[in-house]
Amino acid sequence: MATIGAFKKTNAEYVGEIVTLSVQAKNVKIVPETGADSKNAPSHRLFVGRAEIGAAWAKTSNEDRAYLSIKIDDPSFAAPIFANLFDDDTGETASLTWSRPNRRAD
């Protein structure tokens, strides 16, 4: 797993940055979705300025730890980025982690 983002939690929102070799996004906001009308709808949306760059779903790990499962996409990407946002021990900050999906053997 690689940490690709660092966020500060303020109430129900997160503000921070995402940094990879090809992405350097500052002032990324993860905000709760207020108009969800389906049980499969995202619980949060990701924004850089006015541009929506992704969505997140509230999940619980096997260890009973709450986190956000995030999908980030942009027309410049070859494929979406899937990552997880976990609150750090203090609950005031959070880390965005990414790991390469397992390839299925054919």
Question: 83, 72 in Cβ contact below 8 A?
Answer: yes
The answer to the question of residue 105 being in a domain is no
Distances (CA, A) of 33 to 30, 42, 100, 104: 9, 7, 27, 33
pLDDT of residue 44: 96
- Structural domain count, the chain: 1
In this structure, is the dihedral angle defined by the CA atoms of residues 54, 86, 81 and 60, taken in order, positive or negative?
negative
Residue 20 lies in a domain: yes
Q: Tell me whether residue 29 is in a domain.
A: yes
Residues 29, 15: Cα–Cα separation, whole Å: 5
pTM for the full predicted model = 0.88
Please indicate, yes or no, if residue 87 is contained in any of the structural domains: yes
- Amino acid 68 reads L
User: Does residue 28 form part of some domain?
Assistant: yes
Average pLDDT along the chain, 106 residues, taken 10 residues at a time: 92 94 92 85 95 95 94 90 93 90 65
Q: Would residue 88 count as lying in a domain?
A: yes
Which range of residues forms the domain containing residue 18? 2-35+42-98
Q: How high is the pLDDT of residue 12?
A: 87
103 inside domain: no
